[in-house]
Chains A and B, each alone.
Chain A
Amino acid sequence: MALVPTLTINDTTTFSDAINFTVTDSLTVTAPAQSLSTEIVTTTGANHTIITAATGIRYLFVRHTGLTGADATTASTARLDVEDEDNNTLVGISAGEFAFFPCSVAAGSKAIQLQSSSGNIKVEYAYWTKG
C-alpha cells in the first residue's frame, strides 16, 4: 500500500524573490493505521493516546482545527502538544496549524498522546505504519 504525501510552500509577497517549492514522496505503509479521525483533546494527555506503544515508525498527521469542539464556531487558541507517554513534548501546534512527521519515540516503544494547554481542542489526526 502506498501513501503519497506532498508539501507545497509558496510565498510571493515577503521577499523580492518568490519562494515556491513542492516536495513529494511515496511511502510504503502497512497496518496498523488510523484513518482521518477527530478527537476532543483536554488538558489530560493520558486520556488522549492516539498511538499505542509498538515497534515501528508511524507517519503521523495532526491538525489543530482552531475549534473547541463544543460546536462549529467556538474558537480555541490553546496550544496543542503532541507528547510521548512521559509527557515530553515532540511538537507544539497552534490554532489552524498542522504537522506531518515520522514518529518513532524510542523506536516506537512509547505511546503518543495529545494534550491541550487549556480547555478543549478539536483535533484531526491520522497515522500509518511504515512498511
Chain B
Amino acid sequence: MATTTATVSISSSDLMPGSNLSINASSTLMKTGLTTGLEVVEMGKNTLTVADSHKALYEGGVAAADRDQASWVYICNSATDDTYYIEVTLHDTVIGSLYAGDWMFMPYSQGDNAAELNLEAEGGTCPYEYALFATSKTLLDSDQA
C-alpha cells in the first residue's frame, strides 16, 4: 500500500526560559476515506517574477472526479533576499506570505475549479519548490484527433 508519511517538528531553545519547545506531528497521507494512501505526486521547482503577478500553481480540481479529494501541498520560497516573499492565495483569499527560505505544508482539497492555489512574487524574483500529493488526477481528453 502507498504510504507517504509527513512529519513536522517545531523546536526552539530560547522562546521560554528554562523550557525548550518541541512539537512533533506526523501523518500518513491518505486518500479521502482514510484507508488508502495517496498515489499521485507532482513536484518541481520554478521561478516567479514580480511581473508574473498572480500565477496558479494548481488549478483546483479541473476534472469533477478530482474535486474535494484529500490532497496536500508543500511550497518553499528559495529566495535568499529576506525582503522577497511569495503571497499564497486560495482563489481570492490570502492564506499567507512566504518569506525567503520559509516553507508551508497543508491540506488542499481542490474543492472546485475556482479553488485554484495562486502564487505571487513580491519584492523580487523568487525561485520556489513545490510538491502536491493528491488522491487522483484524471487525464483530460486530448485535442489530438
Contacts and interface: CB of A to CB of B under 8 A. Distances in A.
Contacts of B98: 102
Interface in A1-35: 1-15, 19, 23, 25, 27, 29, 33, 35
A91 B107 contact: yes
Nearest to A101: B104
Interface of A: 1-15, 19, 23, 25, 27, 29, 33, 35-36, 57, 61, 63, 77, 84, 88-106, 126, 128, 130
Contact of B6 (A7, A13, A88, A89): A7
A contacts with B: majority SS:
strand
Contacts of A57: 96-97, 99
Given A19-B41, A105-B93, A91 B12 contact: no
Given A5-B8, A7-B6, A90 B15 contact: no
A63 B27 CA distance: 10
A116 to B, nearest CB: 15
How many B residues are at the interface, by size bracket? 35 or more
A2 B93 contact: no
Contacts, number: 145
Given A93-B107, A104-B97, A9 B102 contact: no
A130 B104 CA distance: 14
Contact of B106 (A6, A13, A101): A101
A31 to B, nearest CB: 10
A102 B23 contact: no
Contacts of A10: 4-5, 7
B25 A63 contact: yes
B19 to A, nearest CB: 9
A9 B106 contact: no
A92 B108 CA distance: 7
B contacts with A: majority SS:
strand
B23 A126 contact: yes
Interface of B: 1-16, 21, 23, 25, 27, 34, 37-39, 41, 70, 74, 76, 88, 90, 93-99, 101-109, 131, 133
B10 A90 contact: no
Contact of B2 (A1, A14, A101): A14
A19 B104 contact: no
Contacts of A3: 10-12, 15, 21
B94 A2 contact: no
Contacts of B3: 11-14
